[in-house]
A and B are shown apart, each in its own frame.
Chain A
Amino acid sequence: MTKPVVEKPEATPLNPYTEITPELVAEHGLSEEEYATILRALNREPSGTELGIFSAMWSEHCSYKSSKVWLKTLPTEGPQVIQGPGENAGVVDIGDGQAAIFKMESHNHPSFIEPYQGAATGVGGILRDVFTMGARPVANLNALRFGEPDHPKTRHLVGGVVAGIGGYGNCIGVPTIGGEMNFHSAYNGNILVNAMTIGVAQTNKIFYSAAAGIGNPVVYVGSKTGRDGIHGATMASAEFDDQSEEKRPTVQVGDPFTEKLLVEACLELMSSDAIVAIQDMGAAGLTSSAVEMASKGGVGIDINLDHVPTREQAMNAYEIMLSESQERMLMILEPGREDEARAIFEKWDLDFAVIGELTDTERLVLRHDGGIVCDLPLDPIGEEAPEYERPWEETPKQARLRPHEVEGTDDMLGTLKTMMASPDLCSRRWVWEQYDHMVMGDTVIRPGSDAAVVRVHGTNKGIAASTDVTPRYCFADPVEGGKQAVAEAWRNLTASGAKPLAITNCLNFGNPTKPRIMGQFAGCVTGIGEAARALDFPIVSGNVSLYNETNGVGVLPTPAIGGVGLIADLEKRMTLALPDEDDLVLLVIGNAKGHLGQSIYLREMTGKEEGAPPAVDLEAELRHGNFVRDLITDGIARAVHDVSDGGLLVTIAEMALAGKKGVALCEPKDCDHPHAFWFGEDQGRYVVALSADDADKVITTALKAKVPVTRVGKTTGDQLTIGDTNTISLTDLNDAFESWLPTFMAG
């Protein structure tokens, strides 16, 4: 089988001849130049099935054609990295022969069209990316962006997405431990649903996707193939318009029960050495898994589609290859191990079918309905997909807003209460109480703190995780915004006592053919790279989602970062909750100049979104974070919270509410602009609570280590007070904080 099997694919009753017209090419999202490349590579016209395969593989979603040149600039290595980008998920070493395997992925377009199923299958897809590598999934997280609250679709979308994420994760029994959610009008027509999964595997039992072994059986397992989700990858690579709802049939339907069986069956088979390679059928289904596995292994693959388990009658080759039916995997087995593997999958009531074998032709050959319906050289499909250096323009810098340019307030605590009840700062309890965040019995820090932490089962170490990005910063200054997203993830892990290990990302942007959008992408990736290098926080996996536009309006640049860290000894974990103890001293670590540009204060209290975002000083970030982590490890810190959205007063209020412990704050000395002091969003800062006995010593050490430190107050009673007269009860504040989201969702 070294030569092409056929010169031209054969027509069969199920796969009649398709005339390839320019319209058909355009419908498949391929440009004229891309089609010309296909003709040159094949030296003939493709069949309809072949055109579909090129269309899916060369879609932005699968090929990264606009983003690849930039992604190559990111740091992806480090002693902790076992596997960087390019596999189903990234792998980092967590000691004791164990690895954390994780990735984040978008499911934006499907979730906008059909929020429950779109979000649910987003969770299902990312879970498969992780367990396909041999890991038992141990935690899910997410990053969600919705339109403005009073947009008519927002409530429906929030309700559906949250229920969908819960519906899938709760049933499969993997705790959803963290996430983030923002509202902004830029997402009115294009919400973002990014899902992340972390799994744990033995380092000597990690499974990869490169196919190997000529003659080895190609095996299909999981659910049957139906007509759902055909061309999902292509849909995910196009803009939306008013007719987008007509695309509902391209959204897949999730079955978490089957996926639970698939996890157990795969892990059971993985405990033997029967599997050579394995990959889930995600975007572009059987097409991408077959092409990518064979391409990576440098082999050919010959599949008989008659053997693919189908859910519906008379499916043709095009439909089988492009279906995105969920809960399916493709495996290459060692020869002769089929029966053993089949027994496991049958025990779990899952389909198991040998559908082909590996060849030495480096071609993808598909047989169906009595004919050969596809015979393509693999190189041009996979490894030589188009790659564009799209023109881009830098985002114009905005002037820095000075504190006196932003209207102040006399009522700091009233302002605090208003801000704590604003959509972007209020409690997310309504969301995470719909997620089973405790199943598996290892959730050590639950949602609501800086990072959530799960214990590595059977050990005393923990994996900390957080998802972060501040899109309004990225929009105002992509480079600083990119840096800030990485720094905040690093800071959140640090505040939990973890040593940050590595990140995954999900880069959500608009239409990359617009130089302005491409400039946002380039800027954010540049900033992410700078921060990741400075903080030794490499990128080990990720996903790019472009064309997040509706009727020409793009989303805010939203490069969501999923950070993962390790807590070596869980006794040394930390949360933001103030202990119920009077006279603990609150210290602010880090410098502040009262930066109000792009702050929540500016937006919520003055209705403006302007100015440069706060700058990120990466050297200071590292110094401050390491200092704080040492305070945690040394058992000195009693509560820690990083300062982010809303600034210092919001940070302290969150600590007080989490611990149900009051705080007395000092009025800032010689301060002309207290609103900037309390609500400025300067970066690289933490609030640390510690005993009065430790405070003096810590201040001295901090100053020696060039870590700025300020005393701001102490714990006491059950109120939040500033100076002698300004007081708010925690009950009042908590009502404001907790009530916005449930009230909004109740309509």
Chain B
Amino acid sequence: MKASVIVFPGSNCDRDVAVSLEQAMGQKPNMVWHADSELPPSDLIVIPGGFSYGDYLRCGAIAGNAHIIRPVKEAAEKGAMVLGICNGFQVLTETGLLPGALMRNADLKFICKDAPLSVETSDTPFTKGYKQGQTISVPVAHHDGNYRADEDTLDRLEGEGRVAFRYADNPNGSARDIAGILSENKRVLGMMPHPERCADPLLGGTDGKALFTAIVEELS
């Protein structure tokens, strides 16, 4: 399997997720610079956490229009898996690969802590390593993780089994406690929590590991 991690100026979880991918895949992913207009052949594309372009306009807005996004969208249309974590989720909503938007946290403060999540569906290539209804603990670290979409969109997401994770104790005001959502074909996942921060027992948890393992199984 071939994986690529997109690096924007201001990405800061690119190395972290590359470490988790390497542990799961047994090989290093490609680190792809935002200004490139071509994407190396990729079965998995990861858009990492951080503050792309400083998030000075609106989180993910500038990254959503970077050169590299066109080939990422093309790859997604052809069925590549795309994982957007934190800022990566924000970027995916800006590109239109996922619906909705991430607004400022309800209490207006940055929040960094372990968040208990409920796995809403195990019927996806990302989450098949979990049991539906299972509670896992995954760290969040964001200022703008408050998921918003119109009611119809939210109903559709729920109806189509596209809510991947829900917060057990909503830390940011997200509509319907949504922590992560999927595309229609369930091959694009955007989530605010950081699975790469809990895929190593030394870091205080391994609940994120099953996500990376599932991706590797799917694509191997």
Which residues of A are interface residues toward B (Cβ below 8 A)?
Answer: 163, 166-167, 170-173, 255-258, 260-261, 348-349, 432-444, 446, 455, 570
Q: A436-B110, A446-B204 are in contact. Are A170 and B143 (CB under 8 A)?
A: yes
Q: A434-B111, A438-B203, A441-B19 are in contact. Are A173 and B9 (CB under 8 A)?
A: no
Residues of A within 8 A of B113 (CB): 433
Do B111 and A257 have beta carbons less than 8 Å apart?
Answer: no
Do B51 and A434 have beta carbons less than 8 Å apart?
Answer: no
Which residues of B are interface residues toward A (Cβ below 8 A)?
Answer: 9-10, 12-13, 15-16, 19-20, 49-51, 53-56, 109-113, 139, 141, 143, 194, 196-197, 200, 202-204
Do A256 and B54 have beta carbons less than 8 Å apart?
Answer: yes
Residues of A within 8 A of B49 (CB): 439
Distance A441 CA – B109 CA, assembled complex (angstroms): 22
Distance A265 CA – B113 CA, assembled complex (angstroms): 30
Q: A434-B112, A436-B110 are in contact. Are A171 and B10 (CB under 8 A)?
A: yes
Q: A170-B143, A257-B54 are in contact. Are A434 and B15 (CB under 8 A)?
A: no
Distance A436 CA – B110 CA, assembled complex (angstroms): 8
14 extra interchain contacts, Cβ-Cβ under 8 A, other than A261-B10, A438-B203, A443-B203? A163-B109, A163-B110, A170-B141, A171-B51, A171-B54, A173-B12, A173-B51, A255-B54, A256-B51, A435-B110, A438-B112, A438-B139, A439-B12, A441-B13
Distance A438 CA – B141 CA, assembled complex (angstroms): 8
6 cross-chain pairs, A with B, having the tightest CB-CB distances, nearest first: A173-B12, A257-B54, A441-B16, A171-B51, A436-B141, A436-B112
Min CB–CB distance B31 → chain A (angstroms): 12
Residues of A within 8 A of B139 (CB): 438
Residues of A within 8 A of B56 (CB): 257
Do B12 and A455 have beta carbons less than 8 Å apart?
Answer: no
Across the A-B interface, how many residue pairs have beta carbons closer than 8 Å? 82
A-B CB contact pairs (8 Å), 5 listed: A171-B10, A260-B12, A433-B112, A439-B16, A455-B202
Closest B-chain residue to A437, C-beta based? B112
Min CB–CB distance B66 → chain A (angstroms): 13
Q: A438-B197, A441-B196 are in contact. Are A257 and B10 (CB under 8 A)?
A: yes
Do A444 and B203 have beta carbons less than 8 Å apart?
Answer: yes
Distance A672 CA – B197 CA, assembled complex (angstroms): 51
Selected from B9, B13, B51, B202, the residue in CB contact (under 8 A) with A444 is B202
Distance A167 CA – B202 CA, assembled complex (angstroms): 27
Residues of A within 8 A of B141 (CB): 170, 436, 438-439
Do B12 and A257 have beta carbons less than 8 Å apart?
Answer: no
Residues of B within 8 A of A455 (CB): 202
Do B9 and A440 have beta carbons less than 8 Å apart?
Answer: no
Closest A-chain residue to B194, C-beta based? A438
Residues of B within 8 A of A443 (CB): 203
Residues of B within 8 A of A163 (CB): 109-110
Residues of A within 8 A of B15 (CB): 440-441
Min CB–CB distance A432 → chain B (angstroms): 8
Residues of A within 8 A of B54 (CB): 171, 255-258
Residues of A within 8 A of B197 (CB): 438, 441
Residues of B within 8 A of A432 (CB): 112
Closest A-chain residue to B56, C-beta based? A257
Closest A-chain residue to B202, C-beta based? A444
Distance A618 CA – B139 CA, assembled complex (angstroms): 41
Closest B-chain residue to A349, C-beta based? B9
Distance A444 CA – B201 CA, assembled complex (angstroms): 9
Min CB–CB distance A529 → chain B (angstroms): 37
Residues of A within 8 A of B20 (CB): 441
